[in-house]
Structure 1
Amino acid sequence: MSELRFADVSIRYGSGRNALTAVRGADLVIPSGSVVGLVGESGSGKSTLARAAIGLSPLTEGTITLGGEDVRGFRRGRRPIQMVFQDPYSSLDPRMTIGESISEAFPRGMSGVQRRAEVRRLLELVNLDPERADDLPSAMSGGQRQRIALARALGARPDAIIADEITSALDVSVQGSVLNLVRDLQTRLSLTMLFISHNLSVVRYVSDFVAVMYMGRIVEVGEVDQVLSDPQHPYTQELLASAPTRHGDLLAIDDGAAIDTEPADPHDPPSGCRFHPRCPIGPLMFPDHTVCTTEEPVLPAAGHAAACHFAASAS
């Protein structure tokens, strides 16, 4: 496995008045052998950033490297970054058997005997009966299909894996078993993985580090326990406050602190900090915090960091 690095990545669609900058100046490192959880509201740019790594979204500015090599320079046919998508029902060809779907990702040059043996090994690795290699996807449940998708991704022998909301389409009763599988695979194979989710409890369970994204910007990064126990950015605090558990909120925030407003139009984002119109410590609550409306905060480069002019006030 190799380090996956996003450096000053921007992704823009369209031009002129219709232009949409889905990701702006994103810096993110997924260390070799680690899982980084990427969280944020729907539309924050999480999947767009991930899809750029495999060439499915246009890279407007910046670089994405794997093991120090620009992903745009990979030779045709080489797929060192594999992505597991959200919907297990649409990610598999219904006309192909499970074994065919998995072996489709194998490197060239393997004999038929080798391919069949590798299919069996991968099915066992994801806790599926290898005798089902000749079944069609229609015979499998959603959780089983997601296991097949993981097996297929591993069959390509990638240097990094991107998992995009892989449990959100599954029944709650099935999600836990898939997450346990992800943890087991990461431990056994030392996977380098970008794990995208809107569920903070899921991210805490599987990730070593976490990055928080808002309107195309990464606003906080750090070790998962540090970020979720001591969030520095007010947006991270809002996410935690809105995530109920059996014992109440993950983090208590005063009822009067949060400002209940809709996110800004992504085609016309606010100047300065993009979160300032909704921020509980922004200029709407503290008129002297005018810097929030004029200067975009910078995310520090090391350790537990937040892109907020008043991060110390947020904690």
Structure 2
Amino acid sequence: MSELIFDTVSVRYGGRRGLAAVDGVSLTVPAGKVVGLVGESGSGKSTLARAAVGLSPISAGRVLLGGVDVRKLPRRRPLQMVFQDPYSSLNPRMTIGESITEAIPRGVLPGRSARKEEVARLLELVNLDPDRADHLPGQMSGGQRQRVALARALAGRPEALIADEITSALDVSVQGAVLNLVRSVQRQLDLSMLFISHNLAVIRYLSDIVAVMYLGRIVEAGPAEQVLADPQHPYTRDLLDAAPSAHKSLFDLEPSATADAEPPDPHYPPAGCRYHPRCPVGPLVRSDREICLRADPAEDAASRRHAAACHFSESEGHEPAISRGASA
């Protein structure tokens, strides 16, 4: 296991004036722990994951695994990713056994019989019959394919694993089994894991640490129990309020007019706090909070609880920690 660190990572498309899909993100996945990354679609979660494994270009910053920049690691890097759609991530013309064998680093298991035994071991690890090794992906269900994708990622001998919305394409009846498997494998192998989801129930079940992403930035992060029980950022609170629970159905949800507004254009993010056009306790509701329009709360987020990127994170009546530009 190794620590995975995102050090002020930015991913920009279209040059300096293009889209900043990820903007100066700093996040640490401690060795042997699970960090749950949550946020709405388009917030930059998957782009951050793809940057870590070399599928999206890093415009600024760096990603470190065990203290080494991942761009300097060998092609078979000890950082693997499981994608959202298991069918598109597996070659439909290769058998399950061939796909898993292909991911085993060269020289680790010389000999055909040794690799075959390893494939059988990995299939058993993800609760699949080793006889499935001769099957094609099209002959398996979605849940079984996702188990194969996990086995293939584990074949690469990873020190850290990134799972990107791996249950969102599965039937509800299958999601629980896959999540139990992921938690069991992570604990058994003591893996460092970045688990990406928009489902707060999933994040709560798996994660030691929760990070909340909005419009390309981390707006709150901390121990899972603390963040989910006492969120400091209005966006985190809105996500929790919008999630159905045992005591609240979809028909009971009544989001505020600001939270229900369309997200800003990521090509032209708002000045000041990026969430202020949708914030239910921001300047559109409170005229005395004009600081949100001009001062970026991310600049001194480290001084606040959960590193919340909000001037008024502690309470609605809390005065901002910064006062740049405030009138006397």
TM-score, normalization by structure 1:
0.95
Give the 5 Å matches for 1:123-162.
123-162=123-162
Match in the other structure for 1:105: 103
Provide the rounded CA distance (Å) in 2 between the counterparts of 1:50 and 1:204.
20
1:241–1:249 contact (8 Å) kept in structure 2: no
Amino acid at match of 2:284: L
Match in the other structure for 1:48: 47
Query: Using a 3 Å threshold, how does the CA distance of structure 1 residues 146 and 301 change in structure 2: closer, same or farther?
Result: farther
Provide the rounded CA distance (Å) in 1 between the counterparts of 2:161 and 2:303.
24
Instruction: Please state if 1:83 is matched with 2:81.
Output: yes
Match in the other structure for 1:218: 218
Quick one: percent identity of the two aligned structures? 66
What SS does the aligned partner of 2:64 have? strand
Provide the rounded CA distance (Å) in 2 between the counterparts of 1:80 and 1:170.
27
Match in the other structure for 1:61: 60
What's the CA shift for 1:255?
A: 6.4
Amino acid at match of 2:302: P
TM-score, normalization by structure 2:
0.91
Unaligned 5+ runs, structure 2: 319-328
Aligned mate of 1:311, from 307, 313, 326? 313
Match in the other structure for 2:93: 95
What's the CA shift for 1:25?
A: 1.1
Q: Output one character per residue of 1:190-234: Cα deviation in whole Å (capped at 9) or x when no partner.
A: 111100000000011111111000000100001111111110000
What SS does the aligned partner of 2:212 have? strand
Match in the other structure for 2:325: none
What's the CA shift for 1:285?
A: 0.9
Amino acid at match of 1:306: A
What's the CA shift for 1:260?
A: 2.7
Query: Using a 3 Å threshold, how does the CA distance of structure 1 residues 124 and 63 change in structure 2: closer, same or farther?
Result: same
What SS does the aligned partner of 2:46 have? helix
Amino acid at match of 1:266: P
Give the 5 Å matches for 1:196-235.
196-235=196-235
Unaligned 5+ runs, structure 1: none
What's the CA shift for 1:132?
A: 1.3
1:281–1:313 contact (8 Å) kept in structure 2: no
Q: Output one character per residue of 1:16-41: Cα deviation in whole Å (capped at 9) or x when no partner.
A: 65x10111110100000011000001
2:35–2:193 contact (8 Å) kept in structure 1: yes
Instruction: Please state if 1:24 is matched with 2:23.
Output: yes
Q: Output one character per residue of 1:128-152: Cα deviation in whole Å (capped at 9) or x when no partner.
A: 0011111111111000000000001
- How many residue pairs get matched? 312
Query: Using a 3 Å threshold, how does the CA distance of structure 1 residues 301 and 50 change in structure 2: closer, same or farther?
Result: farther
Amino acid at match of 1:180: N
RMSD: 1.9
Q: Output one character per residue of 1:265-301: Cα deviation in whole Å (capped at 9) or x when no partner.
A: 1111100110001111111111111111111112317
1:240–1:249 contact (8 Å) kept in structure 2: no
